[in-house]
Amino acid sequence: MGVGIEVVDLNAWYGVTHTLKDITLNIPPNSATALIGPSGCGKSTFVRCLNRMHETNPAARATGTVKVGDRDIYRDASPVEIRRRIGMVFQRPNPFPTMSIYDNVASGLKLNGFRNRKVLDEVVERSLKQSALWEEVKDDLKKKSGASLSGGQQQRLCIARALAVDPEVLLMDEPASALDPVSTSKIEDLIFNLKNEYTIVIVTHNMQQAARVAENTGFFLMGQLVEFTSTNVIFTKPKDKRTEDYITGRFG
Amino acid sequence: MRVKFHKNLDELKERLLVMAGLAEQAVQRSIEAYRTRDLSLCDLVFQSEPAINRFEREVDQMALDLLAMEQPMAVDLRFLYAVLRINADLERVGDQAVNIAARVQEMTAQASAELPVDIPKLANLSSAMVRKSLQSLIEANSEMAHSVLAMDDEVDAMNSDAFHAITELVQRKPDLAPQALNALIIARNLERVGDHATNIAEDVIFWVEGADVRHSSDSRSEKRDVEETS
């Protein structure tokens, strides 16, 4: 099951650049939360702080509290454990090109020491079914490489890879921005189905996509969280004029 | 900046206001026809109806195209929603003018009679509501739109008074029933014009404030009824 995420006074820097300023919000469990805002507003930095990927950049640092479930990820857990509990899918599908479809999905488990073939088979099948890819690849699991799939299939393979380690939260950083409308629709259907079991946070530039998939939406601007509320409120009557100007294209 | 989209929204608003002008003019002409018994004004009202109907279809289509192709959000979405609703109300205002003109045609064939209902006064008030609601649309002024809602009670009261006075007249002088009933129907048409102006004002408030104030007078009345019975 998904867990809630509680963020309190989160600040982040790249070198001397203050990229996130005093972010406080609660992301409910088993829901999809969309983050929108112009390029450079801090939304991607924010999701990277949720699984401690931000700190992989030597010049980056973060302060504040991020609780996933009841655990403070900056104080009570190691980065490795956190990244297992919080999966991430990126803008460009990034399957391991030389690995088979099967090994791509199983890679996370193998890295964590799982070797039991029967368990691996079950997890690979379950993950590919969850990512709605099973029917398309079940006959070629070990014959084809991940790189041989189409862009949309590769993205669903990456989602299957993230799900295989049984995370509680799935972070998606513009997961459909490089995909055609049909593949985009499949990813959005996936989000709808997956939020029964996971908490999903999605960064998107596509506001219609945010409106379609998310229960709650946050608007970031220049490192600040301007507004965070129900998606239907954000897109019909946002409280802050900056939000309204952005989503109606009057920004800038 | 979505320059083309916002230019299209401005054009849509202008189109709606042209239609509003036609509908408002039709009501004024129908009332002037009542006052002067000038049947040529009735003809002008009838002639304006197809143009109003054409505008209704055009405005609907423009709004629908913008919804489909621009996928508006927030204040723009509320504006298009309001336009679609206001468009329908304006078309109905035009219909009320046609109904009034038809009654006036009948009345001119009947003997002139002194009737206990001040149609011009009721018409002035209803027309003022329409004008003010449209001005609130032009200025995106929700405060002005709120003031229209308050005027509706007065129109309703005048219509109710007309009903009682006409009923009493018909009982007293049955031979005046045809003229009296036509006047009563015209009063009812004008009350409906006031209702459409109220709807337009509510839509302006929704557009500007994002607040749905429809039927808030119902809840006020219910509250008043409860207080009176307790």
Can you give the residue ranges of every domain in chain B? 3-229
- CA gap B155, B195 in Å, rounded: 9
Task: Tell the CATH topology of A5-247.
Answer: Rossmann fold (3.40.50)
Is the distance from CB of A176 to CB of A185 less than 8 angstroms? no
Q: Nearest residue on chain A to B5, judged by CA atoms?
A: A249
**Per-residue pLDDT tens for A108-160?**
999 888 889 999 999 999 999 999 999 999 999 999 999 999 999 999 999 99
**Per-residue pLDDT tens for B202-213?**
999 999 999 888
The ipTM of this complex is 0.74
- CA gap A201, A228 in Å, rounded: 13
**Above 90 in pLDDT, residue A81?**
no
pTM, to two decimals: 0.83
CB contact under 8 A, B77 and A250: no
For the stretch A37-57, what's the b/e string if a residue is b when 16 or more beta carbons lie within 10 angstroms of its beta carbon?
beeebbbbbbbbbbbbbbeee
CATH classification (class only), B3-229? mainly alpha
Q: Which of A22, A74, A39 is nearest to A224 (CA)?
A: A22
Contacts of A208 in chain B (CB under 8 A): 71
Residue A2 is given by DSSP the state -
Predicted local distance difference test score (pLDDT) of residue B230: 44
Tell me which residues of chain B, numbers 71 to 110, contact chain A at a CB-CB cutoff of 8 Å: 71-78
Name the amino acid, one letter, at A86.
Answer: I
Mean pLDDT over residues B158-177, rounded?
A: 93
Predicted local distance difference test score (pLDDT) of residue B216: 78
CB pairs under 8 A between A and B: 36
Distance from CA of A217 to the nearest CA of B (A): 14
Closest CB to B5 among A244, A247, A249: A249
> A208 in contact with B at a CB cutoff of 8 Å?
yes
The mean predicted confidence, pLDDT, of chain A is 93
**Above 90 in pLDDT, residue A251?**
no
**Per-residue pLDDT tens for B100-150?**
999 999 999 998 888 999 999 999 999 999 999 999 999 999 999 999 999
Q: Give strand pairing partners of A229.
A: A217
